Amino acid sequence: MLRLYNTLTRKVEDFKPINPPQVGIYTCGPTVYREVHIGNFRTYLGADFLRRILEYNGFNVTHIKNITDVGHMRHVGHGHHAVQIDPIIKEALDQGKTPMDIANHYADLFFKDENKLNIKKATKYPKASDHVREMIEIIKILLKKDLAYEIDGTIYFNVKKFKNYGKLSGNTLDKMDKLLKAVRVSVETDKKDSADFALWKKAEKGRLMKWQSPWGPPAGGGFPGWHIECTAMSIKYLGDTIDIHTGGEDLIFPHHEDEIAQSEGASGKKFVNYWLHGGYLLVDNEKMSRSKGNVYTISDLEKKGYDPMSFRYLTLMTHYRTKMNFTFDALHGAQTALNRLRLDIETWDKPKIGCAEYEERFLEAINNDLNMPEALSIVWELVRSDYPTSAKAESLFRFDEVLGLNLKQVQSSKFKVKSLEIPQKVMDMIKEREELRRQKRYHLADQLRNKIKKMGYNAIDTKKGTDIKKI
């Protein structure tokens, strides 16, 4: 029996789908105005492990992952004096392109990165921009039910009218009142209650992305809030009640809390049976931030000589709900372990009759709220065991349907295990050199660069540290 931790009940529960063997999963996808970073990919890998485990258990999964290609933020102020501007629109203005060009470009990069990480393709990737009509329909229902109200072309959800508000995040109305009184930074000063959130916003003058709606001045147009897109696409593709909804823990509030309010408000039914949330990813024990220059993408890892699959392996080593600390040393270790596994498999006989003992333990681990670190340690026990290699291969290739490390291809004649591109010694010298540069001891740093060159590598300085290229 598969057991999952449900954020809604704060308990590990037996998983019971609505219509077995069918299972519906909705995953909040990326906002596409720049490359998706490894923190988000950790969350998507978590959803990928979940899906593979469901399929391993014989379920038939429909997986919906939306693409947020609609800007949800108002542009306040003008040009360089803007105090707030929607990131998709900002990127379009900066690059002299349309918001849709920007969104399509980064959505393509996202699909390529998912592919590099061997994340299974979602059944569908619905785009927010294709579902504005559905969003308007749900907003109309909420207005009719008096759960929403209009103020000058903008529609707000009336949080006080939805009695279960706060059931996912614990941010109930009385708690919120105190919280909001303490901060008071909202620019939406026209709403009835500070806890209310926008379902639809009247477009500011000259806005690039807007749609016609039944509200506001006829020629003005508007655009949807962020939360309503997930409600609309989830209901459209998976029905009023879905089995599982996933996302990063940073989405619990307000995004998922507001999704519940809108969806249950409109349908009158329970929205989601199991809420699964992935833990944060830290870099060198710090929060990722652009100002610190520690926001890494998959292409950053590749530039430093790593196989994206080593990041997949690395995420297997931490339970999905636990905070994960990313370091290049840890990635290096993951790459080494993965290559060792590949080199072992290369020498094995072709698969024949697996090891029941290990298969049982593996299933138990993955079904225990996706305990991948335990599953991985069982893999290594199997590899080091005395079983014939044909038996190891049979079981390991079965496990790999869940791990997704593409281990089968190692036995095909085309695949060659590349030795780790960068030896540990070079990595250590790179680190030492970065430290010297921080201390502005450039002369010593240059000497070290020459040493690194003699070992066959070019050290290229970038804003995010050093890129390493084999000569």
Alpha carbon 243 to its chain centroid, in Å, reads 19
Answer for which of 4, 28, 61, 142 binds Zn ion (CB under 5 A) is: 28
Piece of 8-16, 224-232, 437-445, 452-460 that binds Zn ion (CB under 5 A): 224-232
Q: Identify the sign of the CA torsion 288, 293, 299, 305.
A: negative
User: What is the smallest separation between the CB atom of 29 and Zn ion, expressed in angstroms?
Assistant: 8
User: What is the smallest separation between the CB atom of 451 and Zn ion, expressed in angstroms?
Assistant: 50
User: What is the smallest separation between the CB atom of 84 and Zn ion, expressed in angstroms?
Assistant: 21
CA-CA distance, 328 to 307, in Å (whole number)? Answer: 13
Query: Which residue, 277, 274, 258, 254, is CA-closest to 266?
Result: 258
Q: What is the DSSP string of 95-132?
A: HTS-HHHHHHHHHHHHHHHHHHTTPPPPSB--BGGG-H
Query: Which residue, 165, 171, 134, is CA-closest to 147?
Result: 165
Piece of 227-235, 326-334, 335-343, 384-392 that binds Zn ion (CB under 5 A): 227-235
Contact 400, 406 (CB under 8 A): yes
Select 28 or 420, whichever has its Cβ closest to Zn ion.
Answer: 28
User: What is the smallest separation between the CB atom of 314 and Zn ion, expressed in angstroms?
Assistant: 26
User: What is the smallest separation between the CB atom of 247 and Zn ion, expressed in angstroms?
Assistant: 6
122 lies in the site for Zn ion, by CB under 5 A: no
Query: Which residue, 67, 72, 48, is CA-closest to 107?
Result: 67
User: What is the smallest separation between the CB atom of 226 and Zn ion, expressed in angstroms?
Assistant: 8
Answer for which of 2, 136, 230, 345 binds Zn ion (CB under 5 A) is: 230
Select 72 or 90, whichever has its Cβ closest to Zn ion.
Answer: 72
Select 29 or 465, whichever has its Cβ closest to Zn ion.
Answer: 29
CA-CA distance, 300 to 271, in Å (whole number)? Answer: 38
Piece of 23-31, 143-151, 408-416, 448-456 that binds Zn ion (CB under 5 A): 23-31
CA-CA distance, 144 to 18, in Å (whole number)? Answer: 29
Select 248 or 404, whichever has its Cβ closest to Zn ion.
Answer: 248
Select 230 or 334, whichever has its Cβ closest to Zn ion.
Answer: 230
Piece of 24-32, 69-77, 264-272, 450-458 that binds Zn ion (CB under 5 A): 24-32
Looking at residues 81 to 110 of the shown chain, list those that interact with Zn ion (rule: CB under 5 A).
Answer: none
375 lies in the site for Zn ion, by CB under 5 A: no
Other Cβ atoms within 10 Å of 167 Cβ, number = 16
Piece of 2-10, 26-34, 75-83, 294-302 that binds Zn ion (CB under 5 A): 26-34
Contact 404, 118 (CB under 8 A): yes
Total residue length of the chain: 471
CA-CA distance, 230 to 425, in Å (whole number)? Answer: 48
CA-CA distance, 200 to 255, in Å (whole number)? Answer: 15
User: What is the smallest separation between the CB atom of 76 and Zn ion, expressed in angstroms?
Assistant: 24
Select 70 or 301, whichever has its Cβ closest to Zn ion.
Answer: 70
Question: Cβ neighbours of residue 163 under 8 Å, at least 6 residues apart?
Answer: none
Select 260 or 363, whichever has its Cβ closest to Zn ion.
Answer: 260
Q: Name 247's bridge partners.
A: 277
User: What is the smallest separation between the CB atom of 259 and Zn ion, expressed in angstroms?
Assistant: 6
- 216-254 b/e (C-beta count within 10 Å ≥ 16 → b): beeebbbbbbbbbbbbbbbbbbbeebbbbbbbbbebbeb
Piece of 15-23, 105-113, 226-234, 277-285 that binds Zn ion (CB under 5 A): 226-234
User: What is the smallest separation between the CB atom of 20 and Zn ion, expressed in angstroms?
Assistant: 25
Query: Which residue, 321, 330, 386, 328, is CA-closest to 355?
Result: 386
User: What is the smallest separation between the CB atom of 30 and Zn ion, expressed in angstroms?
Assistant: 11
Select 256 or 342, whichever has its Cβ closest to Zn ion.
Answer: 256
Question: Cβ neighbours of residue 303 under 8 Å, at least 6 residues apart?
Answer: 467, 468
User: What is the smallest separation between the CB atom of 263 and Zn ion, expressed in angstroms?
Assistant: 11
State both tokens at 102: 């920007």
Contacts with Zn ion: how many residues (CB under 5 A)? Answer: 2
Piece of 22-30, 199-207, 235-243, 356-364 that binds Zn ion (CB under 5 A): 22-30
32 lies in the site for Zn ion, by CB under 5 A: no
CA-CA distance, 194 to 357, in Å (whole number)? Answer: 58
Looking at residues 291 to 350 of the shown chain, list those that interact with Zn ion (rule: CB under 5 A).
Answer: none
User: What is the smallest separation between the CB atom of 272 and Zn ion, expressed in angstroms?
Assistant: 11
Rg (CA), the chain: 25
Select 42 or 245, whichever has its Cβ closest to Zn ion.
Answer: 245
Contact 88, 102 (CB under 8 A): yes
Select 28 or 407, whichever has its Cβ closest to Zn ion.
Answer: 28
Piece of 8-16, 20-28, 270-278, 311-319 that binds Zn ion (CB under 5 A): 20-28
Angle at 303 between CA 297 and CA 304, to 5 degrees: 100
Select 53 or 230, whichever has its Cβ closest to Zn ion.
Answer: 230
* Chain residues that interact with Zn ion, rule: CB under 5 A: 28, 230
